[in-house]
Structure 1
């Protein structure tokens, strides 16, 4: 009897880790082709400026497709989170929708990211495979964590951060330690697979500090606070843009057309075409001290409007842009070397908006090495605390609040806070 039981355990483990392998290889492959597609359409858009004026048409097509055929796919990453928390069903079509509509959103000039598609695709594949293989509830949940890790790691080339993101994404104040091995395996295999296909990533470097002065420390603490406020503002504007749009335009097709039109008009009036798509130039400029805080705020504004209008892609790359430009601007104001502040802003504005402080620290190590680790740690937790209970993923469940003043939020999702009559303030 014991021998049969042992064979069964070995067999189940083999099936489970085989599933992780499939999820990682598939997600890494799709991430490569997504990145290749985004590069191509970005270059094409830059030489065909008139495509921006077709954005309202894409808005209608996107809204109609998700409303008519989406089966809840419009919830995006929040649906993946809910599949972990309460086994919410995830339609397979969600993977196809997010891949193609992300490509189209970039082609026509929406100011959006790319990680949302990769994470959703990893979540879709892992959800479906877990059901097909008839894995038990616990292993299906771990497999979804792994799918998230594979998507994040392969799209950014950051396996260490990807592993932690898969464990940290679904909750505030909790890391899913049971998924440690699954997430690490999926993250490194997913990233390796993307690289095998030929995926490459741009690297930025932090100039070594010659001395630590009171001015540097003051600027660093101030910057960390501002990074937390920027992440909070981004999440607030994005979610409230959607609410305001729904309030004023009840017909979803009219709403899609008008809100996309708002993006087009404002980009035209404010010469905001350079904020279309990923705007990777902002990070390059930030590390050389050319980018300004004003540019970061413009990117925040246009991305919030684009996501609020329903365009697909994600938030993380725009958050990298916003944080690095803000960091560069702060460093320039204090006459300090910009690269350290650009790097910290890049990881921390994302980290506090995603409510993922450990991922933030690991992202710093992945992207810039471990020499500046103390700066990553301190800034990550300052900005995390300052950001309060706001975030880009409204399905996140609060397990441990960011301060004792927010203890009454425990057990609620971010989306539920206004409904239960509690404050979002620190």
Structure 2
């Protein structure tokens, strides 16, 4: 009876999440078109920054914990306010309208997590059941926002604990991800695809380049994660008043865009993925996107990290392909999934994402890239609440059972 109730709840979450994802994606498309038509909207960045800080401090309660709060609700009993879903939707749209460099996954996961916690309360689920429903909600959000239900299934199972797959949630994450994606696509959302033009046979040279590239993908994932934490920490330590902090940090984002002419790197910047696959990219492009996203999210703007990670990885991979005379679309694909996978500490999801997006022909390369970049990033990541279930290296055994944000560095 309990399993039946949980399946019913999963279907309810999937349908609602699929609809919300469609509305959310359409909203981002609309504000991106508006921003492109009216470039001076970037001068709203400080206003949106201050409005975000004020609203979250006055009405958000613990909502500013973002995805970390959702992850914690899987690990233990914590209260997730439903207002989180509403606030993150509104302020992510405003971030993109004004030109902040952010993504969409974080928002979707927060909505899915808040929604599942609410439905779990309505159906009076115990924590061990609710935590499974929350994982299914995470899968629903990821699968429907990116059109990757296979990867979404594993993301919900893998993201809360480093080195552990929550198999007890498998069927629910599967149902949630595929059902939500079906609803989103039924409403008319079409996800843009990319193709690996050719997959070379594994040779000593190709293997060497892929290994070196994978190390770089892990380094960029590490720089991204540590960069956001450092920027947030710097502002929090040196500017105690949250409104003053928002004014200064958001003004920095605006000035960086104007001074360095980073207009193309505002918002989702998915052109970087296209350019990476075509090879029409240089090594400065991923660096520019990384810096602008770190400054945006470090300033407290709402939005996800995954799409910027895709941008950085694809453009970095394409640039390496140009330099090494290896098909740029192959390295762009590996970079796209591995910078994401390293920063989120989800190597199995990374491999499934490659299969979902580009097919199975390049699976050996996905595996090499996913595992190397996973180890290179070490015990770092964009989700500080992740608990280390299985330490990555023997000399890091002392971190077992500790969350990333509580590691003594």
Q: How does the TM-score come out when normalised to structure 1?
A: 0.95
Among candidates 338, 355, 368, match of residue 348 of structure 1: 338
Q: How does the TM-score come out when normalised to structure 2?
A: 0.99
Kept after mapping to 2: 8 A contact 1:293/1:327: no
Task: Report what 1:200 is aligned to.
Answer: 190
CA distance in 1, matches of 2:188, 2:249: 37
Kept after mapping to 1: 8 A contact 2:52/2:91: yes
Q: Deviations over 1:71-103 (max 9, x none)?
A: 110110000001111111000100000111010
* Residue-pair matches, total: 409
Q: Deviations over 1:34-67 (max 9, x none)?
A: 0000011001101111111120011110000000
Q: Deviations over 1:218-251 (max 9, x none)?
A: 1111000000000001000001100001122111
Task: Report what 1:82 is aligned to.
Answer: 72
Task: Report what 2:9 is aligned to.
Answer: 19
* Residue 260 of structure 2 is aligned to residue 270 of structure 1: yes
Q: CA deviation at 1:213?
A: 3.4
Task: Kindly report which structure 2 residues correspond to 1:17-96, keeping only aligned pairs within 5 A, or say none.
Answer: 17-96=7-86
* Residue 352 of structure 2 is aligned to residue 362 of structure 1: yes
Task: Report what 1:240 is aligned to.
Answer: 230
Task: Report what 1:308 is aligned to.
Answer: 298
* Residue 317 of structure 2 is aligned to residue 334 of structure 1: no
Q: Deviations over 1:100-152 (max 9, x none)?
A: 10100000000000011111111111101111101122111110000000000
Q: CA deviation at 1:217?
A: 1.6
CA distance in 1, matches of 2:368, 2:357: 17
* Residue 222 of structure 2 is aligned to residue 250 of structure 1: no
Task: Report what 2:147 is aligned to.
Answer: 157
Q: CA deviation at 1:184?
A: 0.3
Single out whichever of 196-205 and 206-215 deviates more from structure 2.
206-215
CA distance in 2, matches of 1:141, 1:246: 31
Task: Report what 1:318 is aligned to.
Answer: 308
Kept after mapping to 2: 8 A contact 1:51/1:109: yes
Secondary structure at 1:205 match in 2: coil
Task: Report what 2:92 is aligned to.
Answer: 102
CA distance in 2, matches of 1:383, 1:210: 21
Task: Report what 1:381 is aligned to.
Answer: 371
Task: Report what 1:127 is aligned to.
Answer: 117
Unpaired runs of 5+ residues, structure 2, are none
CA distance in 2, matches of 1:319, 1:245: 23
Q: CA deviation at 1:13?
A: 2.8
Kept after mapping to 2: 8 A contact 1:45/1:108: yes
Task: Report what 1:190 is aligned to.
Answer: 180
CA distance in 2, matches of 1:103, 1:143: 26
CA distance in 2, matches of 1:346, 1:227: 9
* Residue 282 of structure 2 is aligned to residue 292 of structure 1: yes
Kept after mapping to 1: 8 A contact 2:199/2:361: no
CA distance in 2, matches of 1:13, 1:229: 42
CA distance in 2, matches of 1:22, 1:98: 21
CA distance in 2, matches of 1:215, 1:330: 14
Task: Report what 2:163 is aligned to.
Answer: 173
Of structures 1 and 2, the larger Rg is shown by 1
